[in-house]
Amino acid sequence: MIHTIPYFDAHCDTIHRCHTAGTLFRDPELRAFYDTAGDLRRSGGHIDLERAGGFARYAQFFALYQSPRLVPEGSSMPEQGVLLHQRFLREMEENRERILPCRTGAEVDEAVRQGKAAALLSIEGAELLDCDIRRLDTAYDWGVRLLNPVWNYANRLSGSNAQQPEQGLTAYGRDFLRRMEELSIYVDVSHLSDAGFWDVVRLARRPVVASHSNSRAVCPHRRNLTDDMFRAIRDSGGFVGLNAYLPFVGGGGTMEDLAGHLEHFLSLDGEKTLGLGGDWDGCDAFPQGITGIESLLGFRDFLRARGWPEELLKDIFSRNLLRVMGGTQ
């Protein structure tokens, strides 16, 4: 059954999970997590095109991501970036009747007109580019339009939430950000240290994005945003995507707890800032009733039952992120 719900999500690690499937991990839990992934058409993970077909319109930012601890011996992070991009292109070609690679909101609109899903690229952690400003041009040519300077580890650009959280953007990190903006690549502050976040806000001339971050006032985890951070993103004309990963949701692990983050941000005048960034295929614990993108149908019904107006739901589920990207659907 196809529902009338449009859905545009800001973050998933599905390409990484498909790329890593079949790796002979010693840890049985790690092996089980990755080996359930198939391909983009049909997967035991959190996203596949068969389930995405339940939405009237579907667009997704696919992150090119690799954990440094999973890099095979003899390889490097930049080499992994190339391989991940090749996997993305392979999935696009093998599923070309269902999904189109897109670089702008206008191209997302065109995919919708053709009755297809839309795929956009991001990078999670600039280590995939060796934190090299010169490689940003390559990323842009690949189609990357959103980039996290860091993942969990500090690097030559900045500290992260998890490592060296007091370290803001380095001088090189500031130059890196300026080049990103010259190329029209949006900066993604999810995972960035608090100090780095405020450096970005001071320097950025384009809307700031937190693709998968929740409210620190609701769940006091350092990966979440303070109210002042949310206001700064709002005032930049940017976007914040709700993360479904249970430790960042907190509470009793229910849909009500997940909705609580949205409702708190709405109290900060976030109607045109909020959206979804599920962290699909990048984590293994969700609130009750959430198993993958198919669960967003039930989550929308849950919000509707709480009295949320239809136009607000459309903004959060799709239009706010599309607006930042320059689309109109």
Q: Tokens 């198919």, residue? A: 294
pLDDT in tens, 157-198: 999 999 999 999 999 999 999 999 999 999 999 999 999 999
DSSP symbol at 137? H
Tell whether 1 is covered by a domain: no
Q: What is the CATH number of the domain that holds 224?
A: 3.20.20.140
Decide if 251 is inside a domain.
yes
For residue 29, being part of any structural domain is answered with: yes
Number of domain units in the chain:
1
> 215 in helix, strand or coil?
strand
Q: Say which amino acid occupies 19.
A: H
The parts of the chain modelled with pLDDT lower than 70 are: 1-4, 22-27, 29-32, 34-37, 327-329
Query: Is 117 within 8 Å of 52 (Cβ atoms)?
Result: yes
Position 183 in a domain = yes
- Per-residue model confidence (pLDDT) at position 142: 98
Q: What is the CA radius of gyration of the chain?
A: 18
Distance CA 144, CA 184 (A): 10
3-state DSSP call for residue 138?
helix
258 falls within a domain: yes
DSSP code, position 250: -
Specify the pLDDT at position 46. Answer: 94
Domain that holds residue 208: 6-325
Which residue in 220, 255, 261, 257 sits closest to 240, CA to CA?
261
Interval 226-256: pLDDT, tens? 999 999 999 999 999 999 999 999 999 999 9
Structural domain contains residue 128: yes
